[in-house]
Structure 1
Amino acid sequence: MDFDTISVRGKSKPDPTTGAIIPPIYQTATYVLEEIGVDKGFDYTRSSNPTRQELEKHLAALEGGSHAIAFSSGMASADSCMKLLSQGDHVVCCDDVYGGTARLFNKLMTNYGVEFTYVDSQVAANVEEAIRPETKMVWIETPTNPLLKVTDLEAVGEIANRNNLLYVVDTTFATPVFLRPLEYGADLVLHSTTKYLSGHNQIIGGVIVTDRNDLYDQLKYIQKSVGAVPSPFDCWLVVMGLKTLHLRMQRHWENAEKIAAYLEQHPKVSKVVYPGLESHPMHHVAKDQMKGYSGMISFELEGGLEAGKKLMNSVELCLLAESLGSVETMITHPATMTHAEVPREERLARGFEDGLVRLSVGIEDADDLITDLEKAFEMV
């Protein structure tokens, strides 16, 4: 089936009992056994739930994978990947990752003896140079949060495969509409379903997708053991969001391209980062491996931090808020919000300036959003 059809229909069929087109919400904690040792496929919702199973099948189909494991947050997904490692293991990671991921790696996993080396993965050779005998995993975000760096997934995948390393790719910003990392050799694909996949600022969730049966078995055991599972209702809301994912992502992309072009020519803007712009240093890679450039833009103002603050405090239609990927446009100051725990020296070293502004472009009318930004620029 075509991707758009999978997005709408997933793997679901009308309910055999009632004929209901929309899958039901199985809001239950436990299930009656037929007899000792015999159940109907479910025994306890922490282990499995029909609504969660519906979501997992849908997400696996969208990524072109065999298995999906849903979690209670994107960070629970990331943490579960970390539980595949042991004391003394080493991870090569792209140098621009979500602040929560950086906190997990640097503040928690290092306490358990896991070491991390951060490299600019836009140059694939940097990944290979960082590999050590104890390296077990390569972790890539693409596009990254918030600098929107783009990694050549095939090139890094060849390196990971050649060195027998677990290859994890977080494509929350791209979604399977625009990028499917399993096609480029990824072992595990990670998403925060909070963002574009659900798309309506309603739930917190995460998912891991894989084609490998061994990794699925391990992660399913981790999911059950730690109990980081989403509620049936949250799973149902994500399923509802997936039905319009392909349509929403097209509008996010169209709006972002228009706004990025507007920002790039604005006299008060010193820098615009968007994979769809030819000025992006990895535009050629994004053009080759992505089917669209999504809805995330980062930019800096001529006046630096103070100018950025004035802009963000002056917008009205753009919402000053954490998170991204919703139908509503949201504007964020990463240095004090999403990446507040990343040391300033570390941020500056990788080109992450204090005044960086991140814009998650929604699906409103693009001209209305530009008008809102223009009015805010007048206050800067």
Structure 2
Amino acid sequence: MGEKEGYLPFPRSFETICIHNSQDPNQWISKAVVPHIVPTTVFKIGDPRLPLKYTYSRFGNPNRTILERTLTAINKAKYGLCFASGISALTAILSALKHGGHIVSCEDVSPETYEVFNNVAPNYGICATFTDVNHMENLCSAIRDNTKLIWVENPTYTTLKVADLCTIANVARNAKILLGVDNTFLTPYLQRPLDFGANIIMQSMTKYINGHSDVIMGCICTNDRELSDQLQLMQVASGLNPSPIDCYQVLRGLKTLNLRMDQYLKNSVTLANYLRQHPAVEKVIHPGLKTHPQHDLLKTQASGHSGILSFYLRGDLAQCEKFLKHLKVFTVAEMCGGVESTIQIPFTMSHKHWKRDTKKRLMISENLIRLSVGLENICDLICDIESALEVFKQEPNCQ
């Protein structure tokens, strides 16, 4: 992948930064190569008159400091903050918009983000408009005098649309509003939105960055000092900070991020090409395929794609559910970005509470399947899918 196929080059020294940034063993008395876990809630104060780096773990903790500095470096940002979850990070962003603000968001956002913007934001006096941000006429017409933020998931959660970050950033800049990008699926290894004019990067580190399905955490990176100060106030004052142990685990996961992302990409492209040829499959959506409508755009602003793909089966909901039940290696779950492969039907799972007409407009139909392709042997994954599709094909409406 990378520059060999027309994508952007991979970030220089990414692996070295993840492994060594802010982790010099000489800074510890023990000279430990791996940073110590510091689970304490309180730190001893020697001289009350002198400023201290650490006093109470909600305000700051060595494990959080190391992780935040490393995330700042790999996102090519000036400031980085960790939060207890991706939703906590999103809530902190809401607080920075102030009462009476307005958000313009892409349509196919994650259900959690939709919940925050649609049901939580009004409690902050903030409303949101959902539109197709790739159509500039729609985007510009959605902007109001009180719009404070354009929000983009890149790619989007379910149908994996890729946004033109440079063009949207120009719109935001001309309107003097912020551009926030959810970079969860591509991570800073494959996409660095600040390079294209974004003001805020948010990532759910629960997914690929940690990568082992055992930690919930989010982060925000920015180059805006004032915005960073506002977000840090929310992080500390509202108790949105993560635990030291979780920070330790995410830092550990971060050290293999590039290796995992490389393999996710290989596995997902191989599986996507297999699915494209299968008679029971109507359509495959994978930004890494040339058939994706924004494939060329992706290559201008990313170094590759992750393990997320979606496809439509030729059948109804009952048949799709039967297909899922016959899988042995794939785990039926809404979670994604872990080492294990997962699969779901968004219509009845992640998006079950969405209105039917909204799902229809966004092409989230009963026969849409979303995969998070993991790190298992690709032959085992293909055999698992093939075996379940054989059962699927035997259904009368699948021919």
Among residues 244, 263, 279, which one is paired with 1:267 in the alignment? 279
| CA deviation map 1:347-373 (0-9, x unaligned) | 111211122111001111111100000
Counterpart of 1:252 in structure 2 is: 264
Counterpart of 1:291 in structure 2 is: 303
Q: CA deviation at 1:32?
A: 1.0
Among residues 43, 48, 54, which one is paired with 2:66 in the alignment? 54
Q: CA deviation at 1:342?
A: 2.0
Q: Does 1:150 align with 2:162?
A: yes
Counterpart of 1:11 in structure 2 is: 22
1: CA distance between counterparts of 2:176 and 2:368? 37
Change in 2 beyond 3 A, CA 1:37/1:332: farther
Runs (5+) with no aligned partner, structure 1: none
| CA deviation map 1:30-70 (0-9, x unaligned) | 11111224353011111111101111011111101111110
Counterpart of 2:367 in structure 1 is: 355
2: CA distance between counterparts of 1:340 and 1:113? 27
Counterpart of 2:13 in structure 1 is: 2
- Residues 7, 246 of structure 1: 8 Å contact kept: no
2: CA distance between counterparts of 1:127 and 1:11? 41
Runs (5+) with no aligned partner, structure 2: 1-11, 393-399
Q: Does 1:90 align with 2:102?
A: yes
| CA deviation map 1:310-351 (0-9, x unaligned) | 111111101111211011111122222222222222111121
- Residues 94, 124 of structure 2: 8 Å contact kept: no
Among residues 218, 221, 240, which one is paired with 1:206 in the alignment? 218
Counterpart of 2:384 in structure 1 is: 372
Amino acid at match of 2:198: A
- Residues 317, 372 of structure 1: 8 Å contact kept: yes
- Residues 32, 39 of structure 1: 8 Å contact kept: no
Counterpart of 2:141 in structure 1 is: 129
The equivalences for 1:161-240 within 5 A come to 161-240=173-252
1: CA distance between counterparts of 2:47 and 2:353? 52
Amino acid at match of 1:8: I
1: CA distance between counterparts of 2:69 and 2:123? 35
Counterpart of 2:323 in structure 1 is: 311
Partner-residue secondary structure (3-state), 2:96: coil
2: CA distance between counterparts of 1:261 and 1:49? 46
Q: CA deviation at 1:7?
A: 2.4
1: CA distance between counterparts of 2:383 and 2:21? 38
Counterpart of 2:396 in structure 1 is: none
- Residues 285, 309 of structure 2: 8 Å contact kept: yes
- Residues 167, 187 of structure 1: 8 Å contact kept: yes
Q: CA deviation at 1:224?
A: 0.4
| CA deviation map 1:187-223 (0-9, x unaligned) | 1100000000000011000000111111111100000
Amino acid at match of 1:300: Y
Q: CA deviation at 1:101?
A: 0.6
Identity of aligned residues (%): 38
2: CA distance between counterparts of 1:116 and 1:16? 47
2: CA distance between counterparts of 1:219 and 1:136? 15
Aligned residues: 380
- Residues 201, 326 of structure 1: 8 Å contact kept: yes
1: CA distance between counterparts of 2:262 and 2:99? 43
- Residues 86, 205 of structure 2: 8 Å contact kept: yes
2: CA distance between counterparts of 1:71 and 1:350? 30
Counterpart of 2:117 in structure 1 is: 105
2: CA distance between counterparts of 1:243 and 1:167? 29
Q: Does 1:43 align with 2:55?
A: yes
Name the Cα RMSD after superposition. Answer: 1.3
2: CA distance between counterparts of 1:49 and 1:97? 32
| CA deviation map 1:1-28 (0-9, x unaligned) | 6112112223321143011010111101
Q: Give the TM-score taking structure 1 as reference length.
A: 0.97
| CA deviation map 1:79-136 (0-9, x unaligned) | 1111112332111100010001101111121243312111112224422221111111
| CA deviation map 1:136-181 (0-9, x unaligned) | 1100000110110100111101111111101110010111111000
Counterpart of 2:132 in structure 1 is: 120
Q: Does 1:160 align with 2:172?
A: yes
